[in-house]
Structure 1
Amino acid sequence: MASCFWALRLGKKNRASSVSLPPSPPPSLPCSSFPSSSQLPKKNHLPTEMEVMEKKRWDSLESWSMLLEPGTENSEGSGGEREEWMADLSQLFIGNKFASGSHSRIYRGIYKQRAVAVKMVRIPEQDEERRAMLEKQFNSEVAFLSRLYHPNIVQFIAASKKPPVYCIITEYMSQGTLRMYLHKKQPYSLSTETILRLALDISRGMQYLHSQGVIHRDLKSHNLLLNDEMRVKVADFGTSCLETQCRASKGNMGTYRWMAPEMVKEKPYTRKVDVYSFGIVLWELTTALVPFQGMTPVQAAYAASEKNMRPPLSTTCSPVLNNLIKRCWSVNPAKRPDFSYIVSVLEKYDECVREGLPILVHQELRIGNSLVELFKGCITTRSSTPVPA
């Protein structure tokens, strides 16, 4: 037990046997809580000797938890008052690391007798540009997470802003990421019922997010987490922004395989970039494959934005889902539906599947004229004609 849990109650040392942590996801769990390659500052120079030494020093630490000793923190508001989200580090136990990135690690933990995930972000001392970017992402993620409350949004608990390590404490999602879940599945093996359940969780979370005026900007299977009940929650808001402020943003945010063409081209964009990304995620659910497999991320971005290419649709999937995917990843953002519409379509289709009702053209499946068009020709037979991408 001692080997899988360092009994670090910050500021004190305790017996490992006094705490029982939930099982951790496998060590191969992707870490979505650090910048993707498309988010990092574009630098051409090689790391300096000081930067290399700093990285080696951090990598040599068995656990970053020793850097979170309770003490004076830089977590006060402009008026000097303590932020309401500020963590009480004396109540935090740090367990196993189960994911890591170039500037972050994610640990299991216990906070106030509750199982949690603790994301720690190291703030580099030598690279000012990267430090500013990481601080901005941390502030953005805390600002959004601390104000979002929905069953399909990962629950924020507390945070700590104490250089050289910042940390964000959230609920512990025991089943890891959607990408990890799909990686274990055979291609095209998910049932329609499972696809609909997972897709509804994601789309409801995104519907709520957009209702709050927030654009996620990095929706992908790595940023969708599963709990014990296999319910999906949207996570990682480090690159999110308010839609009213996104217009002032420059450059692209997100991850190339899931990135909307207008974002790749650094053109003006709206919340519809999230709908495009959802289309790719829904495709992942119907295939259990990685989008644009066989291409590098840059090749995938070029293919989607310049050649209007999309991953090949499943020939065994219901035309209802394939048609919805095609609408979501339309090259024209105006033709992509809102998440309220997506939820309505998925709920209606889920109702038909659960009740064993055939989906026929003459049925009153209407949420506006567009829904009839979406369901047109969708009859419950397993031998469907391939839908071209």
Structure 2
Amino acid sequence: METSDSVSASSSGPLNDFSYIKSSEKSKSKKDSAWTKFFDHGAGKVTAVETVDDWTIDLSKLFLGIRFACGAHNRLYRGIYKNEFVAVKMIRLPEDDENGKMSARLEKQFHREVTLLSRLYHRNVIKLVGGYRYLPVFCIINEYLSGNSLRAFLYKLEYKSQPLQKLIPISLDIARRMAYIHSQGVIHRDLKLENILFDQDFHLKVTDFGIACEELLCDSLAEDPGTYRWMTPEMIKHKSYGRKVDAYSFGLLLWEMVAGVVPKLSDWRSHKLGVM
């Protein structure tokens, strides 16, 4: 990875608009440094999945910027790769994983996400740029979407019920995106407002394939949690399921857009688990 000085020295393209990298490098916390130091080894081209040569990345052309989101085991950074804005998702294996279960699960999710995204070519599905592995860190690089999520869009509208003339085109857009994903034999398994993002032209894109799976290979006993409120009874009870689980989540998504409220967790828990 090149230094922030080399970034500021560039005189064309997105790098001109990315001047905050230099200052952000200076202000990174120790926790951030513990994650990002793995970009400094200078190993050159690496691959996320050995059998998929098309998805290698050249670290010398990757510039890491400001972190904009984080989870229990991953962090998202804005960056630049080959003069294009990208989102860099870093997954770090836990140090206190005595039995190695969590590490194995995270590594499996990484391989699965890169493999599935590499098969999806659609303008309304998040585009995979490449992958990177340097233990204990895994990295997935996708196109950067400058727009907000559908959740943030509704929040700005104060979750007021919107006219059907506005909601129907959005709903149909999402349905078409999911129809394409299913046509490729992929189940998303975590469809919700947060995972529908707008690009700079206000086009919708389906994102976050971290727990997606091939329909023929979905493991009903897997511990991939998903998001409880949007999970079907079959997933909660670890029964066999198919692409209809996405249709169920899509129904809840429509509920939120039409009603302007999130379904009450207590009501849905009783419904899902068959408690009357």
TM-score range, shorter chain: 0.7 to 0.9
RMSD value, Cα:
2.8
C-alpha spacing 1:307/1:188, structure 2 compared with 1 (3 Å): farther
Displacement, 1:250?
4.2
Partner of 2:57 in structure 1? 87
Partner of 1:193 in structure 2? 165
C-alpha spacing 1:62/1:76, structure 2 compared with 1 (3 Å): closer
Equivalence map 1:1-389=2 (5 Å) = 10-14=1-5, 16=8, 18=10, 19-21=15-17, 60-63=30-33, 64-69=35-40, 70-71=42-43, 75=47, 83-127=53-97, 128-246=100-218, 249-250=221-222, 253-292=225-264, 295=265, 299=266, 302-307=269-274
As a proportion of its length, which structure holds more strand?
A: 2
C-alpha spacing 1:233/1:76, structure 2 compared with 1 (3 Å): closer
Q: Distance in 1 between matches of 2:37 and 2:223?
A: 36
Quote the sequence identity (%).
43
Q: Deviations over 1:209-263 (max 9, x none)?
A: 1111111111111211111122211111121111111256445642111111221
Q: Deviations over 1:66-113 (max 9, x none)?
A: 3212316763766xx773211111111111111111111111111111
Q: Distance in 1 between matches of 2:171 and 2:267?
A: 23
SS of equivalent to 2:255: helix
Q: Is the 8 A contact 2:48 2:131 kept in 1?
A: no
Give the count of matched residue pairs: 260
As a proportion of its length, which structure holds more helix?
A: 2
C-alpha spacing 1:301/1:192, structure 2 compared with 1 (3 Å): closer
Displacement, 1:281?
0.8
Displacement, 1:20?
3.8
SS of equivalent to 2:132: strand
Q: Distance in 2 between matches of 1:221 and 1:208?
A: 18
The TM-score normalised by the length of structure 1 is 0.61
Q: Distance in 1 between matches of 2:177 and 2:67?
A: 27
Q: Is the 8 A contact 1:217 1:254 kept in 2?
A: yes
Unaligned residue ranges in structure 2 (runs of 5+)? 21-27
The amino acid across from 1:95 in the alignment is G
SS of equivalent to 2:102: helix
Unaligned residue ranges in structure 1 (runs of 5+)? 1-9, 25-57, 310-389
Q: Distance in 2 between matches of 1:96 and 1:262?
A: 39
Q: Distance in 2 between matches of 1:254 and 1:283?
A: 19
Q: Distance in 1 between matches of 2:37 and 2:63?
A: 11
SS of equivalent to 1:188: coil
Q: Is the 8 A contact 1:256 1:300 kept in 2?
A: no
Q: Distance in 1 between matches of 2:175 and 2:214?
A: 18
C-alpha spacing 1:307/1:185, structure 2 compared with 1 (3 Å): farther
Q: Distance in 1 between matches of 2:267 and 2:16?
A: 43
Displacement, 1:61?
2.4
Q: Is the 8 A contact 1:224 1:233 kept in 2?
A: yes
SS of equivalent to 1:244: helix
Q: Deviations over 1:301-338 (max 9, x none)?
A: 522313589xxxxxxxxxxxxxxxxxxxxxxxxxxxxx
Q: Is the 8 A contact 1:201 1:231 kept in 2?
A: no
Q: Deviations over 1:36-82 (max 9, x none)?
A: xxxxxxxxxxxxxxxxxxxxxx973234333212316763766xx77
Q: Distance in 1 between matches of 2:84 and 2:46?
A: 25
Q: Is the 8 A contact 2:49 2:111 kept in 1?
A: no
246-255 vs 205-214, greater mean Cα deviation:
246-255
Quick check: which has more Rg, 1 or 2?
Answer: 1
Q: Distance in 1 between matches of 2:148 and 2:253?
A: 16
